[in-house]
Chains A and B, each alone.
Chain A
């Protein structure tokens, strides 16, 4: 079915919904690389105009990827809450945007509605919104999750301590984590990207992080961001797992290129849930998955089905929300300039990802970052960090001086986190804040000495 609109007397036709979605996107180098982007600014806006007239029912009835060939499409349709959807199905995307920004769906009304919104609806909506719209609309949505503490409440900004080490030296990792704790970071998770993917190495990191948390009695959770199968193998050999991590994408083929399937994710979650209940520990809640995503990952795996990267990212959130995650973040500048060319595109994508995730009910954080071959720098990261804090982002990364010495990219730092909390009057997660007051976390020696004793013979 074709769509059309007229801008100042010039008529634009879009042969199908997928093409309309792609042309209506803000400029992204990844959509240009895929050969599906708007070829003029007039065409881009004409596509937005035509898209604003499409009803939500039309979007649900015309799947952008056939359910027959893609399990993500199937799952999205199966899980759609028909009662919630019936409330909005006759609205056009333009009308839906207006109601959302007018505050018609605040609080409980939105929570009910979230399961009636498909990822494609969220993606279409975003194409009609300005950066400020994305910030304003997201700021009213609070998606709260619980594991060993509580993240996402109003007035809270959590931080992941990311103490990566190029040789996976456990003592180096733990000491680096302590630096973050002294800044009040680490309430979202103390999460390590391992340099190697061996079960032994990952187990050693998990045991080390667990000892750190136990020794200092920190109300937080740990994670080692290896492949899910490596983490589960470590679990089998007795390593403790708080959060189970996996990168996910918006198509079955892209997930398959990551070596995962929906059933593997569900099986992993069940195993770790049983493991939690077997540990002698007071869990605040059962949210235990940690997902990372990013625009461009499906195209990069040649698994994009001709769709734009924003829509595919929304579908990745459709995957994530099947599994009751504790944390979800896009890694927004990591993929490189062929997908997000510069500061403007990275900032736009960061705001889009955060809003879409929040609208779909996810506890969205963001890895605000860039690589050295993108046209961006730390000032760009500062800008997006401030914008996303204003938007009510659940958490950010805390990397020592923003320089990740293992992954070789720049993110945000402990200093940046402290600055955002001060600027916006935000606190760490409540259980963690109480711990900081008890421990006097500002005293470095008090924290570092027991850990240094514990690790110096390793």
Chain B
């Protein structure tokens, strides 16, 4: 009886403790090693992350827009492997890409949306079909002129500068897959820059990250992105010094795995 009370008390305390952190604490042990369940859960979470990194973008996805409204180009990296080892190539458009973009995309628009696979095509597949139609809808309400959106395969954040050089929009918004962690492989980031040009750095960009169902839900993120664009347009600037925080604080990362 005393043992049972002690065990219940221990279990209760462990539950209370684990509610305070998503860290994998107080897991069952096999001697000083992980119990089988823990070992396989870790392997499973890593497997999802690895597959997300190596997954190719699905060319046939329409991302929630009407059929044929998006087209795809490539960065200067020619394979996923080269992309992972040569970040410099992922930051510029291939020559073919430039030749395709120039005739298809109007220049000098208020806002240019671009989608990039980044380190998780899975994040793009899961979040973009929800966030992109909402972004175009809200941007239209703001009466901004919109560029023709397109998709870049093997894309790094720095490609924003090359797009700014080529199309000269006021604001580029790049929706790009984040590096997968064990907790989620579906997290998307939105990088925003006012009149980006070659040589600009992260200091001239703003970021809304952690966009996924258990982070910042895509529809809420779309509102935040629109707010940030309007601040940039009125300040005629972006990056350090531009406050893009909204009326409500954004939700914190999920408290529990």
Contact = CB atoms under 8 A, between A and B. Distances in A.
Interface of A: 29, 32-33, 163-167, 169, 171-173, 175-176, 178-179, 183, 337-338, 341, 371-373, 377-378, 400-403, 405, 408-410, 415, 418-419, 422, 444-445, 448-449, 452, 456
Contacts of A377: 46, 50
Given A415-B29, A444-B26, 5 more contacts: A172-B21, A372-B182, A400-B25, A403-B23, A410-B46
Contacts of A341: 85
For the complex of A and B, list the 4 residue pairs with the smallest distance between their C-beta atoms, beginning with the closest. Answer: A172-B21, A408-B181, A401-B24, A166-B253
Contacts of B17: 175, 178, 448, 452
Contacts, number: 116
Given A371-B179, A378-B46, A445-B10, A163 B23 contact: yes
Interface in B45-98: 45-46, 49-50, 52-53, 84-88
Contacts of A167: 252-253, 255
A28 to B, nearest CB: 11
Contacts of A409: 181
Interface in B1-40: 9-10, 13, 16-17, 20-27, 29, 32-34, 38
Given A166-B253, A445-B13, A415 B23 contact: no
B83 to A, nearest CB: 10
B253 A175 contact: no
A373 B179 contact: yes
A401 B85 contact: no
B180 interface: yes
A405 B183 contact: yes
13 contacts: A33-B87, A172-B21, A173-B21, A175-B20, A338-B86, A373-B180, A401-B24, A401-B34, A405-B22, A405-B24, A405-B182, A419-B33, A444-B10
Contacts of B38: 401
Contacts of B26: 179, 444
Given A373-B53, A373-B84, A378-B46, A405 B33 contact: no
Contact of A166 (B22, B27, B32, B50): B22
B7 to A, nearest CB: 11
Nearest to A408: B181
Given A166-B22, A403-B23, A372 B29 contact: no
A168 to B, nearest CB: 10
A403 B21 contact: no
Interface of B: 9-10, 13, 16-17, 20-27, 29, 32-34, 38, 42-43, 45-46, 49-50, 52-53, 84-88, 119, 179-183, 252-253, 255
Given A410-B46, A449-B13, A172 B20 contact: yes
Given A166-B252, A338-B84, A405 B21 contact: yes
B21 A408 contact: no
Nearest to B118: A373
Contacts of A445: 9-10, 13
Contact of B20 (A29, A169, A373, A449): A169
Contacts of A419: 32-33
Given A172-B20, A176-B21, A403-B42, A372 B32 contact: no
Contacts of A444: 10, 26
Contacts of A410: 46, 182
Contact of A415 (B33, B53, B85, B182): B33
Nearest to B210: A166
Nearest to B50: A372
Nearest to B184: A408
A172 B88 CA distance: 39
Contacts of B29: 415
Contacts of A402: 42
A409 B180 CA distance: 9
Contacts of B252: 166-167
A408 B179 contact: yes
Query: Which of B24, B34, B43, B53 has the most chain A CB within a 10 Å cutoff?
Result: B24
Contacts of A338: 84-87
A33 B86 contact: yes
A172 to B, nearest CB: 3
Contacts of A337: 84-85
Best-surrounded residue of A401, A444, A456 (most CB of chain B within 10 A): A401
B23 A405 contact: yes
A422 B10 CA distance: 28
A373 B182 CA distance: 12
Nearest to A167: B252
Nearest to A183: B32
A34 B119 CA distance: 22
B85 to A, nearest CB: 5
B20 A171 contact: yes
Contacts of B87: 33, 338
A373 B119 contact: yes
Given A338-B84, A401-B34, A452-B13, A175 B25 contact: yes
A33 B85 contact: yes
Contacts of B27: 400-401
B13 A415 contact: no
B12 to A, nearest CB: 11
Contacts of B20: 169, 171-172, 175
Contact of B23 (A33, A172, A371, A422): A172
Contacts of B180: 372-373
B22 A33 contact: no
A447 to B, nearest CB: 11
A63 B252 CA distance: 49
Contact of A378 (B10, B42, B84): B42
B253 A372 contact: no
B33 A372 contact: no
Contacts of B45: 403
A448 to B, nearest CB: 6
Contacts of A452: 13, 16-17
B81 to A, nearest CB: 9
